[in-house]
Structure 1
Amino acid sequence: MSSWAVIQQSLPMFGEKGFQLTLWLSFVGIIGSIIVGIIVSLLQYFKVPVLHQVVSIYVEVSRNTPLLIQLFFLYYAFPVIGIKFGAELCGIIGLIFLGGSYMAEGFTGGFNGVSKGQLESGKANRVESLAACQIHCLPTRILTERSGNGRQCVFLIKETSIFTVIAIPELTNTALDLIGMYYRSNEYLLVLVVGYAIILIPLSIILTLLEKRVRYGSFGN
């Protein structure tokens, strides 16, 4: 059988199974990471007692442990204490746990970048206290940082390839299953690379354009 015929036969499995699942897990993981990131950065920015220390520990643990270990812990260690999640839910929780800490870094940088002019604008709108002015300006900073955190979105999508270790049938797992069954590594790995390229290249282009637009809007260049 020709290589092209092998690729054609594999497309339904990659498309209906691996591609769609990768997109879905990435979407839910990224949205969850953004929400967690905003909450963590707000707690850090306003130094909320106790919670500030808790989220600081979370950030350190999340950033300094591999997603692979986090997934093993969720999927294999939790059932020992009576807590059991499905493979896909473990993947989503792991992605959010990892992504939330990285998103928080970007948002915290945005919050710290609230300018004197923005605070003065807040005061002009009768927002009197410093804290209230900062809160008034935070939505603008969140929107500004969306381009900076775009790189984290790309990173999280690529991290879904690790889900294969807990048998989630995303793109990488689909490719490995097909290779194990039919021993056509070159063809299935090519489809795998193309699949990720279809997701990541348009996203990277969009994020680059968005970053330029936000930068020009912020600095007037």
Structure 2
Amino acid sequence: MNLDWEFIMESLPLYGDAMWLTVKLALIAIVLSLVLGLVFSLVLFYKVKGLRSIILAYIELSRNTPLLVQLFFLYYGLPKVGIHMSEFQCAVAGMTFLGGSYMTEAFRSGIEAVGRTQLESGLSIGLSRVQLARYVILPQALAISIPSLGANAIFLLKETSIVGAIALMDLMNVAKDLIGMHYKTAESLLLLVLAYLILVLPLSLLLTWVERKVRHAEFGN
């Protein structure tokens, strides 16, 4: 198969811009999802009345509806009731809505893995709920949850390929446009695959390194 290297070189700036957009979108969505997941998991753990049922309903709604449907609702549905957001804002909101539920479940599994004896011991020596969460629950829960959190972060990064449906010029949209205009399918898809590999592989290696460091610091092995 002969590749058009001149076309590849000319297309690199387009993919570079799309990669930068993907990085910004994924980074913001991952950070917001982690914050939501942490807060919601603690609410579920402490069984806060009223909020617990709302969060459980949110998790079921988020995990059982496609991201594409969520994006369409935000981009096309909300303007009908007077709420307008840019394409980028809709993408961030949709991915955070999806990612928050997965991060909540990841944190919750880590929190629930902390021994009840430790919790009871912390309460017996007079620790408040905040102190118990900060000094006993979260350090251990984080170490346990890191593999799931990392997998969710990679999942969100790859899910950015959906946001082209609301007119954002992400990597997938750039590849589709180039194929449609120039009929350079092999070259466009090669650049698409390489772009995602460049984004996902370093993140995967970084998360593996972080997991090892945290587990070593927490458990000493």
- What is aligned with 2:87? 87
Aligned letter for 1:152?
A: N
Structure 2 gaps, min length 5: none
1:114-133 aligned within 5 A: 114-115=114-115, 118-119=118-119, 122=122, 126-128=125-127, 132-133=131-132
1:96-175 matched pairs, under 5 angstroms = 96-115=96-115, 118-119=118-119, 122=122, 126-128=125-127, 132-144=131-143, 145-175=145-175
- TM-score calculated relative to the size of structure 1: 0.90
Name the SS for the 1:168 alignment partner.
coil
2 CA distance for matches of 1:20 and 1:55?
Answer: 33
Distance in 2 separating the partners of 1:127 and 1:204: 41
Do 2:107 and 2:142's aligned partners in 1 also have CA atoms closer than 8 Å? no
The Cα of 1:131 is off from its aligned counterpart by: 7.5
Point out the more displaced range, 17-26 or 104-113: 104-113
Distance in 2, Cα, partners of 1:111 & 1:155? 22
Structure-2 change in CA distance of 1:197 and 1:137 (3 Å): same
- The one-letter amino acid paired with 1:143 is L
Matched, 1:176 2:176: yes
Measured against aligned partners, the alpha-carbon deviations of 1:168-206 in whole angstroms (never above 9, x if no partner) come to: 111111111111211111101100100000010111112
What pairs up with 1:1-221 in 2 under 5 angstroms? Answer: 3-15=4-16, 17-115=17-115, 118-119=118-119, 122=122, 126-128=125-127, 132-144=131-143, 145-221=145-221
Q: Give me the whole-angstrom Cα distance separating, in 2, the residues matched to 1:211 and 1:97.
A: 25
Instruction: Kindly report the root-mean-square deviation, in angstroms, between the aligned alpha carbons of the 2 structures.
Output: 2.2
Query: What secondary structure sits across from 1:149 in the alignment?
Result: helix
User: CA separation in 1, counterparts of 2:152 and 2:209?
Assistant: 16
The percent of aligned pairs where both chains have the same amino acid is: 42
Whole-angstrom CA distance in 2 between matches of 1:162 and 1:130: 40
What is the letter of the counterpart of residue 8 of structure 2? I
Instruction: Assess if the C-alpha contact under 8 Å between 1:114 and 1:134 holds in 2.
Output: no
Structure 2 CA distance for partners of 1:14 and 1:116, relative to 1, 3 Å: same
Query: For the Cα contact (< 8 Å) 1:175–1:189, is it kept in 2?
Result: yes
CA drift at 1:48: 0.3
| Cα deviation 1:48-85 (Å, max 9, x = unaligned) | 00000000000000000000100011111111111111
User: What secondary structure sits across from 1:148 in the alignment?
Assistant: helix
Question: 1:120 offset after TM fit, Å?
Answer: 7.3
The CA deviation at 1:217 is 3.8
Separation (CA, whole Å) in 2 of partners of 1:47 and 1:200: 36
Instruction: Point out where structure 1 has 5 or more consecutive residues left out of the alignment.
Output: none
After TM superposition, the score normalised by the length of structure 2 is 0.90
Letter in 2 for 1:191: L
Deviation of 1:143 (Å): 3.4
| Cα distance in structure 1, aligned partners of 2:4 and 2:115 | 58
